Amino acid sequence: MLSIALAGKPNAGKSTFYTAATRAEVDVANYPFTTIDANRGVSYVRTDCPCLDRDERCNADNCTEGKRYVPIELIDVAGLVPGAHEGKGLGNQFLDELTNADVIINVIDASGGTNEKGEPVDIGTHDPLEDIDFVEEEMDLWLAGIVDRNWESVERKSRSPEFDIDEALADMLSGFGASPAQIAIVLRDLEYPDDPIQWEDEHREALARDVRQRTKPIVVAANKIDVAPEENVEKLLELEKPVIPTTAEGELALRNAADAGLVDYDPGDTEFEIGEGVSDEQREALDGLRAAMDRWDGTGVQGALDYAVYDLLERITAYPVQDATKWTDAKGNVLPDAFLLPRGSTPVDLAYAVHSDIGDGYLHAVNAKTNREIGESYELAEGDVIKIVSTN
């Protein structure tokens, strides 16, 4: 399963975001370092279900009227402060948690109501721009530290006649969740000596920075938009980085209200309807939230998850079926599974994602939307429904 980590300074709303997105109850409080051990849970990205092309909605477990929710893993880690890579705050142990993540959502407090340590200050007095750069820098320095610590062993290996610097670096960085292909791309664009003994600190830092950028892309969740000064959010949106305005607290309130049957709202909707039985006080709070959602295009929580997976990680959703006409599996379930594959994947890649045996026995595939056989090198598109024919 793809893994998204919520990182960022303390008290920015990571655990609130996590609770809203996973419906798991974790500690949330208005002081720094509420979270110590990481929380892990299942959340979803949202996309259009292929059943929208048919007369009837599919009623799959994760489909609500054509809104399809595809599972991903969400990790909520302890807050990060400047100097964390050298042990400041809760130190760098939680940075290790990020090793397993495919992509990072950096949750910042766009209201400027918490300082760099996460301590509450008056709204608008801390510049949220500062909270973006330091997180990237801490991650880069942390990885540079890992490279440093492993350098002696690379030097030692270099005495062997079979030594290959690219192989040695790929080996060392694989523990960081970097694939050989990703490392090959980084090394292609870097200039460095073949002999590890001649490497300077700047070579190691450049390597760490490039590997981090490629393997842990970041989208910023500009959180607390419900209380943030509008110009703060606008300034953040002008950056040449992906920034999504969010209100984690708003999303949490809406999901709770939806569970209680008070509002009609599905995660990722940009609006909601208020039902019966809502008190005047609740209605006032909901109307306030509606204004923020109108202004910033929803609560942004679902949007940030979707951006991380579909834009940063460039995934598409593919739906394997056994029956190309009914779009069902062997038990008659319509569109039972959805896979998030890298853009450019082929039917063979989908076969392997379903099961290695299915991949090994791959014969051919049928595009169930057109009912035509497709070639091995066909590039899957978002929402493709595919029947795979395999000997296994």
Query: Count of residues binding ligand GTP (CB under 6 A)?
Result: 25
Does the protein bind ligand GTP through residue 92 (CB under 6 A)?
no
C-alpha distances (whole Å) from 308 to each of 2, 74, 221, 242 are 10, 11, 10, 9
Q: What is the DSSP string of 75-124?
A: EE-----TTGGGT-TTTTTGGGGGGG-SEEEEEEETT--B-TT--B--TT
Q: Does 28 bind ligand GTP (CB under 6 A)?
A: yes
User: Would you say 35 or 346 has its CB closer to Mg ion?
Assistant: 35
Within 280-339, which residues bind ligand GTP (CB under 6 A)?
Answer: none
* List of residues 6+ apart from 382 with CB closer than 8 A: 47, 316, 317
Residue 9: CB atoms within 10 Å = 29
Q: What's the min distance (Å) between Cβ of 166 and ligand GTP? A: 38
x/- track of binding to ligand GTP for residues 59-78 (CB under 6 A): -------------------x
Q: Which of 5, 15, 38, 253 contacts ligand GTP by CB under 6 A?
A: 15
| Residue from the set 4, 6, 7, 15 that interacts with Mg ion by CB under 5 A | 15
Distance CA 319, CA 326 (A): 13
Q: How far is the CB of 26 from Mg ion (least distance, A)?
A: 7
Q: Give the span between the Cα atoms of 386 and 381, in whole angstroms.
A: 11
The least distance separating ligand GTP from the CB of residue 250, rounded to whole angstroms, comes to 6
N-terminal to C-terminal alpha carbon distance within the chain? 23
Please work out, in degrees rounded to the nearest 5, the angle formed at the alpha carbon of residue 197 by the alpha carbons of 196 and 202. Answer: 75
Indicate whether 90 belongs to the interface with ligand GTP (CB under 6 A). Answer: no
Binding mask 20-59 for Mg ion (x = CB under 5 A): --------------xx------------------------
106 touches ligand GTP (CB under 6 A): no
From the list Mg ion, ligand GTP, none, which binds 299 (C-beta under 5 to 8 Å, kind-based)?
A: none
Quote the distance between the C-alpha of residue 45 and its chain's center. Answer: 9
Contact call for residue 32 and ligand GTP (CB under 6 A) = yes
Using alpha carbons, select from 21, 19, 38, 41 the residue that is nearest to residue 29.
19
- Positions touching Mg ion (CB under 5 A) are 14-15, 34-35
- Positions touching ligand GTP (CB under 6 A) are 10-16, 28-30, 32-35, 78-79, 118, 223-224, 226-227, 247-250
